[in-house]
Chain A
Amino acid sequence: MNKLISWTSLLLASLFAMQSHGAGTSAGTAISNQASVTYDVGGGSVTRTSNTVNVTVQELINVVISSQNTGNVSVSSPDTEVALKFQISNTGNGDEAFIVQQVNLSDDDFDVTLSTIYLDDGDGVVNSNLDSTYDNATSIPSGDSITIWVTSDIPGGKGNNQTANIQVSALSKTFNDDSPSQTNPQPGDVVTSGGDPANDGSNTNTDAVYGRSGAAIWSATFLVSAIEVTIIKAIGVINDNLGLNNTNVSGKPIPGADVEYSLTVTVTGTGDATNVTVTDPLPSELILKGGSNGSIFVNGVERTAASGDDNASYDANTDTITVELGTITAGGNDSIITFTTVIQ
């Protein structure tokens, strides 16, 4: 099962776009300064200029990671490629690639396995066939963002409410690739000539300088909420009552015909689903056969349509069938509800 947690909030997206800007003067820009002086030594005003001082703006490495996954992320156990969506914004002043890593944190119940990190192809939907695997080397222009999907495999056998804490980080590739690798750089640390080319005619690269947000971290919690209740409705026998002894079990759905329905309730995952209640509001063309005196079968056992005496009832006013199945343990037998209606 591929659970995807997507977010399409335009407002938030535009907020992050705004954050991404303001990366400052581009790496490599030369800042030049020349002063002048005017004076008079008796022969009139003279103007002279000073020497010119130049400084080239170096590349500042800054990154912001953002995600809508602020709370617990519900997963099943087991589950594959549970995808969390992240936006990685290069808030530095030069082009930079970022290495994305996911680690398991402690103080939780289990660890997950990092599966694949996908680079979104632009549609904002994770798709293992269309999205390419993120190569940890995609250069992000200053002020731009990329969208990635970090997918994890959830181990089996984990009970309801068990949690796994993870941390996703984006690290500067320049600092990682430095020799020796700078895996824990501090603001102000430098990779000499690791930055973008200088635009000062020197044919050199700027230095890469680790910024105050040189690495970005996002924490998330996977919560096993193993219970998934599915319900399938199917049409069974149609008896148009036109045959011998008013029986024709392969009849046509015509007015007066009996139509049998079945509702199959399946609980998957692990743990117990409590207070499972099935309601089926019938279309106005159908009523329960026998109305308030009719029958509803739950797992083959006949229940009355009256309310209050058992776990099944039919409300003629709202034309609705209600069956209270109570607690169902995941993985157990399906619950099957059958009843017969009459076409009006």
Chain B
Amino acid sequence: MISFNESVKKALLLIVLPAISLSAFAQVDLQTEMYKVIEVPVENGASKIEWIQPNSITPGDRVGYRLIVENKGDKPAADIVLNNPVPDNTLYVDGSARGANSSIVFSVDQGKTFAKPENLFIQKDGKKLPATAKDYSNIRWILNSALKAGEKGSVQYVVQVK
């Protein structure tokens, strides 16, 4: 009969082994978090923005995504680029993409090409028109410096459910 302690050790072993092999392979880890973005009234008619649990999402609601990148390896990770397509049935909210120490570019052609907003154009009725936030199909954050071993960073953006 296996004692309680032995069984726990075995179970721990089973859990720890794959975790080690994964992290050895996974130098840089990316996590996506999702929130409901709401406006909460405060005094004097002003309001503040809060990111809360994404319950009861309905058309018109705003959903915020936070991408957390972490270098879990022992070497610095350079040339870090984060990519995220704007999810189906949502529109990118103008000006909502943030990311410290990064340059943010957008795509209006499903990620084939990226550019700053002022350099994005769409074709409509044979005319070349400046693209607007609702035209963005993909967002890209290009981190300006390497992520050192053990370092963590995050970027975010907000969409509105169509």
Q: Do A and B come from one complex?
A: yes
Q: Which residues of A contact B (CB under 8 A)?
A: 23-25, 27, 29, 31-42, 45-46, 48-53, 55-60, 93, 188, 190, 207, 209, 211
Query: Residues of B contacting A190 with CB < 8 Å?
Result: 56
Q: Which residues of B contact A (CB under 8 A)?
A: 26-34, 54, 56-60, 63, 65, 67, 69, 73, 75-85, 87-90, 147, 161-162
**16 more CB-based (< 8 A) A-B contacts, given A53-B33, A53-B65, A93-B58:** A29-B89, A31-B87, A31-B89, A35-B65, A35-B84, A36-B82, A37-B28, A40-B77, A46-B28, A48-B30, A50-B31, A52-B32, A57-B57, A58-B57, A59-B58, A60-B60
The interface residues of chain A, by DSSP majority, are classed as strand
Report 9 cross-chain contacts, Cβ distance below 8 Å, ordered by A residue.
A35-B30, A36-B82, A41-B77, A45-B79, A46-B28, A52-B32, A53-B34, A55-B63, A188-B56
Contact with B73, one of A41, A53, A60, A188 (Cβ below 8 angstroms) = A41
- Asked if B75 and A55 make an inter-chain contact with CB atoms under 8 angstroms apart, the answer reads no
- Asked if B78 and A25 make an inter-chain contact with CB atoms under 8 angstroms apart, the answer reads no
- Asked if B30 and A58 make an inter-chain contact with CB atoms under 8 angstroms apart, the answer reads no
Measured CB to CB, the nearest residue on chain A to B73 is A41
Contact with A46, one of B27, B32, B59 (Cβ below 8 angstroms) = B27
Measured CB to CB, the nearest residue on chain A to B34 is A53
Distance in angstroms between the alpha carbons of A29 and B59 in the assembled complex: 10
Query: Residues of A contacting B87 with CB < 8 Å?
Result: 31-33
> In the assembled complex, how far is the CB of residue B111 from the closest CB belonging to chain A, in whole angstroms?
10
Distance in angstroms between the alpha carbons of A58 and B57 in the assembled complex: 6
> In the assembled complex, how far is the CB of residue B48 from the closest CB belonging to chain A, in whole angstroms?
18
Distance in angstroms between the alpha carbons of A53 and B36 in the assembled complex: 13
Most buried by A among B63, B80, B87, B147: B87
Contact with B83, one of A32, A38, A59 (Cβ below 8 angstroms) = A38
Question: Are A58 and B76 also in contact (CB < 8 A) when A35-B84, A39-B27 are?
Answer: no
- Asked if A38 and B81 make an inter-chain contact with CB atoms under 8 angstroms apart, the answer reads yes
Query: Residues of B contacting A207 with CB < 8 Å?
Result: 56
Distance in angstroms between the alpha carbons of A58 and B59 in the assembled complex: 8
Distance in angstroms between the alpha carbons of A36 and B111 in the assembled complex: 12
- Asked if B27 and A41 make an inter-chain contact with CB atoms under 8 angstroms apart, the answer reads yes
Query: Residues of B contacting A46 with CB < 8 Å?
Result: 27-28
- Asked if A57 and B76 make an inter-chain contact with CB atoms under 8 angstroms apart, the answer reads no
Measured CB to CB, the nearest residue on chain A to B67 is A35
- Asked if B75 and A42 make an inter-chain contact with CB atoms under 8 angstroms apart, the answer reads yes
Measured CB to CB, the nearest residue on chain A to B74 is A41
Measured CB to CB, the nearest residue on chain A to B77 is A39
- Asked if B26 and A38 make an inter-chain contact with CB atoms under 8 angstroms apart, the answer reads no
Contact with B59, one of A40, A57, A188 (Cβ below 8 angstroms) = A57
- Asked if B76 and A41 make an inter-chain contact with CB atoms under 8 angstroms apart, the answer reads yes
- Asked if B26 and A48 make an inter-chain contact with CB atoms under 8 angstroms apart, the answer reads yes
Measured CB to CB, the nearest residue on chain A to B57 is A55
